[in-house]
Amino acid sequence: MSDFNDNPYFELFSKQQQNQFAIGNSTYKQRLKKLNTLQYAIEVTYRAQIQKALQKDLGKPVVETELTEIYAIIGDIKHTKKHLRHWMQKQSVETPLSMLGSSSYITYEPKGVCLIISPWNFPFNLTFGPLVSAIAAGNTAIIKPSEMTPNSSALMAKIIEDVFAKDEVALIEGEVEVSTALLKLPFNHIFFTGSPKVGKIVMEAASKHLASVTLELGGKSPTIVDKTANLDKAAKKIMWAKFLNCGQICVSPDYVMIDESVKDEFITSCKKWLKTFYNDNPKTSDSYGNIVTDKHFDRLTSYLENAKTLHATFEVGGETDRSSRYIEPTIISDLKPEAKLLEEEIFGPILPIVIYESLDMAIAYINSKPRPLALYMYSKSKKNTNKILDNTRAGGSCINNSVLHYANHNLPFGGTNNSGIGKSHGFFGFRAFSNERSVLKQHTFGVTELLFPPYSGFKERLAQLTIRWF
């Protein structure tokens, strides 16, 4: 451990390490109490301050904060409290007859000292969500939130300090260097939410200590609209999902693939719903937010410039204002394959429309890109829906909806390969922060002892018998 003496966070890490068994051996009731305290802090004590912090950082409308941050965390805590007793129980499993005289069970023991690194787009939800799973599973945790949303990070630091002792949960604010220093420490588990690019850095750092990882990453999530779909309903749901949080959502529909014959009708409906949601001028709408930082604003406007250079068609929007980091909800078609909007994860309020001539072409296009975090299908055809589900791979999917699979605590949430490793939410989050320890308990004389050396002819026959019959 002396290797870490000059690491600024080693002392804190060591304190949590010393405390890990006391925390890990906590009872169901003790963990419930912690969850209740955290719930009260978010739901009551700090609720108004959370709304204000998000307003400052992301211009987030209060209703969106209530639904996608406060309700999301409270829902998570309630679900965990309801099921925790059961999750914590030992699970008996069958023992083969060849091991007669013994019984077997799985116990979910905490991983130990965990690191949680979170992003800025839903700062509270994506920090407290993993934390709920970590403490439910009996771990200690050090949290590093995003530097992009400083008001939210400062408030989370206050909440954590209020609710937990430092040797159980601590939050460290700061820039990338903080993550870099923390990643050098031998954590038992690292739960990272962010981009695939940084996910690779995290995984490399974790490999030095063989720490297990959960990587909740992003990427380009396709939405397919076939010609049998209810186009107006599809447009309504896609407009909501795409422009919620200004498109800064990991499971946001990144681009729409649509059958050529219904494209114009779909775009007409999209325009209608955008007007209904955000009026004629979304800039003045209380229901629409802004881009998180100038850097992200510049990134997104460079995609728009690139699309203009390539003579794409701006179906809706395109207006921007750097001083308020405003980008109008924008829909673009006729993009060339090399357009930035079709290559990079957009993570902003710009929706490319890509035409397909056949579902096979749509499938080939999707499969030519890294595996997405989410894939959405709008269709009335079971055959078409199954064809898409059977011939693509994605972390999760909604059929005739978008984003909502994220909100069902009974579904595992996470990506596959480039969009992530491991799952979170509900039991799957509890499991991510647990080691499934196998225990075999010998009660009486075990028949396996009959096979111990020295090996005689009898034992050889017994071994053959075992292979054949047990």
Interface residues with ligand NAD (CB under 6 A) are 117-121, 126, 144, 146-147, 176, 179-180, 193-195, 198, 201, 216-218, 250, 345, 347, 373, 420
Q: Which residue is nearest to ligand NAD (CB)?
A: 218
Q: 231 vs 250, which CB is nearer to ligand NAD?
A: 250
Residue pair 318/304 in contact by the 8 Å Cβ criterion: yes
Report the SS3 class of residue 438: strand
Q: 121 vs 223, which CB is nearer to ligand NAD?
A: 121
Q: 116 vs 270, which CB is nearer to ligand NAD?
A: 116
Rounded Cα gap, residues 171 and 9, in angstroms: 11
Rounded Cα gap, residues 318 and 301, in angstroms: 9
454 preceded by a cis bond (ω within 30 of 0): yes
**What amino acid occupies position 215?**
L
Which one is catalytic: 168, 216, 328, 345? 216
Which pair of structure tokens corresponds to residue 148? 């992009």
HSE at residue 138, side-chain half, CA atoms within 13 A, is 23
The answer to whether 161 is a known catalytic residue is no
The answer to whether 270 is a known catalytic residue is no
CB of 144 to ligand NAD, least distance (A): 6
Rounded Cα gap, residues 334 and 347, in angstroms: 20
The crossing angle, in degrees rounded to 10, of helices 28-40 and 125-136 is: 160
Q: 194 vs 222, which CB is nearer to ligand NAD?
A: 194
CB of 160 to ligand NAD, least distance (A): 15
CB of 288 to ligand NAD, least distance (A): 20
According to DSSP H, which parts of 380-425 are helical?
A: 382-391
Q: How far apart are the first and last CA of the chain?
A: 47
CB of 141 to ligand NAD, least distance (A): 14
CB of 185 to ligand NAD, least distance (A): 13
> How does DSSP classify residue 325?
T
Q: 10 vs 413, which CB is nearer to ligand NAD?
A: 413
Give which of 374, 329, 359 is closest to 229, Cα–Cα: 359
The contacts of residue 346 (CB under 8 Å, 6+ apart) are 220, 247, 252, 254, 255, 300, 303, 352
Rounded Cα gap, residues 135 and 271, in angstroms: 45
CB of 329 to ligand NAD, least distance (A): 19
Rounded Cα gap, residues 412 and 429, in angstroms: 8
HSE at residue 360, side-chain half, CA atoms within 13 A, is 0
Which one is catalytic: 114, 246, 250, 270? 250
Q: 180 vs 261, which CB is nearer to ligand NAD?
A: 180
Please identify every residue annotated as catalytic: 216, 250
